[in-house]
């Protein structure tokens, strides 16, 4: 099991214990353990195999959590969790996923009104019964109503990053079989969608029975949903369904194309095939001559597309948005790659809510081949994160200057700040301080439920500010947890274009903000995108890959992304009239 999967188990244990009104210290121990495991650079599974007692040396992991880690790693299950799940209706977990609910409020509606499903909760809210519970009001009732649909989606789909961890485990598991000649993952996972509902695995294998037997042993003891001659479905402990299909070599490319999708993309292909007297399905491309069908292509994806007079499309583009028009005009973009990124413009240190020091973040960025890293700790308004006031920020910038003076090579630390856009408007730090920065991110953390006009006005004011470089996570969404705030993005795009400001694609897999559709819209407005990790530890500098994947879905190229440039080139992009006014 991966660290994040183990952490998810302990988070769920903590939620269910809190729902049962267990000792808060016990609940906190599981939450602390989950947080420590999620932030741990080393693999818990590897530690268990080497020396399980080492886990107790990790801050936040006590003896009980360490022992349960060993059970999870060795068996893939946790008896305590199974016992809790037997005692509490599974549907209750869906209610906990509603933003603002959590275990205690869920327990209140369950015990006082007998509500255990999202449908029952929706009805109770519509009837005004929820506000009768102590601590619940009409506003809470409306908040719950607006979050029910979000919780329903969260129940069905997991983050792409989580699916990717499972894919790597399954790839390793199936890779043990010499009977498998080809193996690929398809579906929304291969297209890089931000969430994944299930996994599709395609293999070419000489012994289907042995492959299926081995597949059934993946990840502990998965539940076998169905098994046939060439297809098998399992459901693993997290609830994710995985479908395995064994296909003949001559159909592998066709099956990979078909099951990768999207449905809309495949509809266009079928229409195109019919216009050419062809038929396309998961078995291949066929020439239709009366009642006869002659095999044309199917072994490779490239051959399938070529049979329809089309180039091979990167999977991320297969959404029937622009890819076919681009193909017709020969303008299929060369999508951005991780290797194109030269710097990261959003990173935190332990001076606010980060886990590592400035020196450690700089060293980790260099190890990853970056040429620059902007240190953008929070400003003072974010007091819960220990945000920096003017004095602390200027002290940090002095240390960054000294660091750059001592450094050898071309790597550079940038003096940055993630400056809050205040609820009443304006920025969290004075102009004379912001004028000394290399890079200023403006962001909203408070007042996210303000009316559309107010939220938009705050962001537009920040864009017009002469010292702001970019807007961070511009819609404020958390995937499956919090909807975007109500902002007029057309107005934001127009202002960013007018004032020469950048917009961020935050690469954290829980954010991916801007999303792929809005990134494409920003590109159409000529607005450069900065793909940033929002790293809070050295390990989270690796989140860049998720932002790259989202950018590829948007059709972004190297030229569309600001931080594919050197710092000297990037300074000119964010300079212009504002920088001249500052005398830089």
Pairing of strands 158-159, 195-196: antiparallel
* Tens-place pLDDT, residues 165-184: 999 999 999 999 999 999 99
- Position 137 pLDDT exceeds 90: no
pLDDT at 220: 66
pLDDT at 235: 86
26-33 own/partner pairs: CB under 8 Å, 24+ apart: 29/62, 29/64, 29/65, 30/65, 32/60, 32/61, 32/62, 33/60, 33/61, 33/62, 33/65
DSSP assignment letter at 388: B
Q: Which residue has the higher pLDDT, 50 or 259?
A: 259
Least confident of 219-228, 229-238, 239-248, 494-503: 219-228
pLDDT at 452: 93
Single pTM value for the model: 0.80
Nearest to 236 by CA among 224, 222, 220: 222
pLDDT at 582: 38
* Tens-place pLDDT, residues 532-549: 999 999 999 999 999 999
Residues 77, 181 within the same domain: no
Residues 525, 576 within the same domain: yes
Residue 350 buriedness (CB in 10 A; 0-12 / 13-18 / 19+): middle
* Tens-place pLDDT, residues 34-51: 988 877 767 888 888 888
- CATH code: domain of residue 208: 3.30.460.10
Residues 165, 138 within the same domain: no
The angle formed by the CA atoms of residues 237, 240 and 246, to the nearest 5 degrees, is 110
| CB 80 within 8 Å of CB 13 | yes
Task: Please give the residue range of the domain that contains residue 137.
Answer: 3-155
| CB 386 within 8 Å of CB 355 | no
Residue 454 buriedness (CB in 10 A; 0-12 / 13-18 / 19+): middle
Least confident of 206-210, 222-226, 439-443: 222-226
Residues 324, 343 within the same domain: no
Residue count of the chain: 584
First and final CA of the chain: distance in angstroms?
52
Residues 129, 58 within the same domain: yes
What mean pLDDT is predicted for residues 208-220? 90
CA distance 301 to 253: 4
Last residue of a domain, one of 97, 125, 155: 155
DSSP assignment letter at 55: G
| CB 550 within 8 Å of CB 506 | no
Last residue of a domain, one of 298, 329, 360: 329
pLDDT at 132: 83
The angle formed by the CA atoms of residues 202, 337 and 411, to the nearest 5 degrees, is 140
Q: Which residue has the higher pLDDT, 484 or 341?
A: 341
- Position 326 pLDDT exceeds 90: yes
Residues with Cβ within 8 Å of residue 221, at least 6 apart in sequence = 76, 77
pLDDT at 584: 38
- Position 150 pLDDT exceeds 80: no
Residues 172, 125 within the same domain: no
CA distance 286 to 304: 10
pLDDT at 450: 94
The angle formed by the CA atoms of residues 496, 498 and 500, to the nearest 5 degrees, is 60
CA distance 426 to 310: 51
- CATH code: domain of residue 126: 1.10.150.110
The angle formed by the CA atoms of residues 99, 101 and 107, to the nearest 5 degrees, is 155
pLDDT at 581: 40
Least confident of 116-125, 243-252, 412-421, 470-479: 116-125
Residues 539, 418 within the same domain: yes
Residues 320, 399 within the same domain: no
Phi and psi at residue 292, to the nearest 5°: -100, 145
- CATH code: domain of residue 267: 3.30.210.10
Number of Cβ atoms within 10 Å of the Cβ of 35: 15
Q: How many domains does the structure of the chain reveal? A: 4
Residues with Cβ within 8 Å of residue 11, at least 6 apart in sequence = 30, 31, 34
Residues 169, 233 within the same domain: yes
What mean pLDDT is predicted for residues 468-479? 95
The strands making up 284-289's β-sheet, listed across from edge to edge, are 278-281, 284-289, 292-297
Q: Which H or E run includes 47?
A: helix 44-50
Residues 372, 256 within the same domain: no
Residues with Cβ within 8 Å of residue 292, at least 6 apart in sequence = none
Q: Which residues pair with residue 535 across a beta bridge?
A: 347
What mean pLDDT is predicted for residues 443-460? 95
**Which pair of tokens denotes residue 526?**
């000529």
Q: What stretches of 74-194 adopt beta strand conformation (E)?
A: 158-159, 180-185
- CB crowding 208-217: b at 16 or more within 10 Å, else e: beebbebbee
**Which pair of tokens denotes residue 279?**
């038929």
- Position 100 pLDDT exceeds 80: no
Residues 391, 487 within the same domain: yes
- Position 472 pLDDT exceeds 80: yes
pLDDT at 575: 58
- Position 412 pLDDT exceeds 80: yes
Least confident of 115-124, 388-397, 451-460, 575-584: 575-584
pLDDT at 579: 40
Q: Tell me the pLDDT of the chain averaged across its residues.
A: 91
| CB 41 within 8 Å of CB 539 | yes
pLDDT at 154: 60
Confidence tier at 576 by pLDDT (50, 70, 90): very low
Q: Report the percent of the chain where pLDDT is more than 70.
A: 97
pLDDT at 136: 86
* Count of CA atoms in the C-beta half-sphere (13 A) of 513: 20
Residues 399, 281 within the same domain: no
Last residue of a domain, one of 192, 225, 246: 246
- Position 152 pLDDT exceeds 80: no
pLDDT at 153: 65
CA distance 373 to 370: 7
């Amino acid at each position: 099991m991966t660290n994040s999967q183990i952490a998810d188990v302990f988070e769920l244990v903590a939620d269910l214990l809190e729902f049962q009104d267990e000792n808060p210290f016990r609940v906190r121990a599981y939450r602390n353990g989950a947080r420590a495991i999620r932030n741990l650079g080393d693999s818990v599974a590897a530690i268990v195999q080497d020396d399980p007692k080492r886990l107790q040396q990790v801050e936040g992991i006590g003896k009980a959590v360490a022992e349960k880690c060993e059970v999870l790693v060795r068996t893939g299950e946790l008896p305590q969790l199974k016992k809790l799940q037997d005692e509490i209706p599974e549907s209750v977990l869906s209610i906990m996923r509603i933003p603002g609910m959590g275990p205690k409020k869920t327990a209140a509606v369950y015990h006082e009104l007998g509500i255990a499903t999202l449908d029952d909760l929706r009805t109770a809210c519509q009837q005004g019964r929820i506000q009768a519970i102590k601590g619940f009001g009409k506003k809470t009732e409306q908040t719950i109503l607006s979050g029910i649909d979000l919780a329903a989606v969260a129940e069905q789909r997991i983050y792409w990053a989580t699916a990717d961890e499972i894919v790597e485990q399954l790839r390793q598991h199936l890779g043990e079989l010499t009977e498998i000649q080809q193996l690929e993952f398809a579906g929304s996972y291969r297209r890089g969608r931000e969430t994944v509902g299930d996994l599709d695995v395609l293999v070419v294998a000489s012994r289907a029975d042995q492959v299926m037997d081995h597949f059934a042993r993946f990840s502990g003891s998965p539940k076998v949903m169905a098994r046939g001659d060439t297809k098998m479905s399992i459901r693993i402990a997290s609830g994710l369904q995985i479908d395995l299909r064994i296909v003949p070599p001559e159909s592998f490319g066709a099956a990979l194309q078909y099951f990768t999708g999207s449905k809309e993309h495949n509809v266009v292909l079928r229409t195109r095939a019919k216009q050419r007297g062809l038929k396309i399905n998961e078995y291949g491309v066929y020439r239709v001559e009366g009642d006869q069908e002659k095999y044309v292509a199917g072994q490779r994806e490239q051959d399938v597309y070529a049979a329809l007079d089309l180039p091979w499309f990167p999977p991320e583009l297969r959404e029937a948005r622009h890819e076919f028009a681009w193909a017709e005009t020969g303008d299929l973009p060369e999508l951005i790659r991780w290797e194109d990124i030269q710097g990261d413009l959003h990173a935190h240190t332990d001076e606010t809510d980060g886990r590592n020091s400035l020196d450690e973040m700089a060293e980790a960025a260099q190890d990853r081949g970056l040429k620059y890293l902007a240190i953008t700790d929070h400003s003072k308004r974010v007091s819960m994160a220990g945000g920096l006031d003017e004095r602390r920020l200027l002290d940090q910038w002095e240390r960054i200057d000294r660091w750059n003076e001592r450094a050898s090579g071309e790597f550079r630390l940038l003096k940055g700040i993630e400056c809050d856009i205040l609820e009443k408007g304006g920025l969290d730090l004075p102009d004379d301080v912001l004028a000394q920065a290399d890079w200023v991110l403006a962001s909203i953390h408070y007042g996210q439920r303000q009316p559309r006009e107010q939220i938009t006005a705050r962001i537009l004011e920040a864009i017009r500010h002469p010292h702001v470089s970019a807007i961070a996570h511009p819609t404020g969404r958390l995937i499956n947890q919090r909807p975007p705030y109500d902002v007029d993005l057309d107005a934001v795009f127009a202002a960013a274009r007018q004032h020469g400001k950048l917009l961020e694609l935050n690469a954290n897999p829980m954010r991916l903000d801007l999303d792929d559709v809005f990134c494409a819209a920003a590109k159409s407005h000529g607005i450069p995108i900065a793909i940033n990790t929002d790293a809070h530890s050295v390990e989270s500098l690796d989140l860049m890959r998720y932002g790259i994947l989202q950018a590829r879905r948007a059709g972004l190229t190297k030229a569309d992304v600001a931080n594919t440039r050197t710092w000297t080139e990037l300074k000119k992009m964010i300079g212009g009239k504002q920088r001249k006014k500052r005398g830089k």
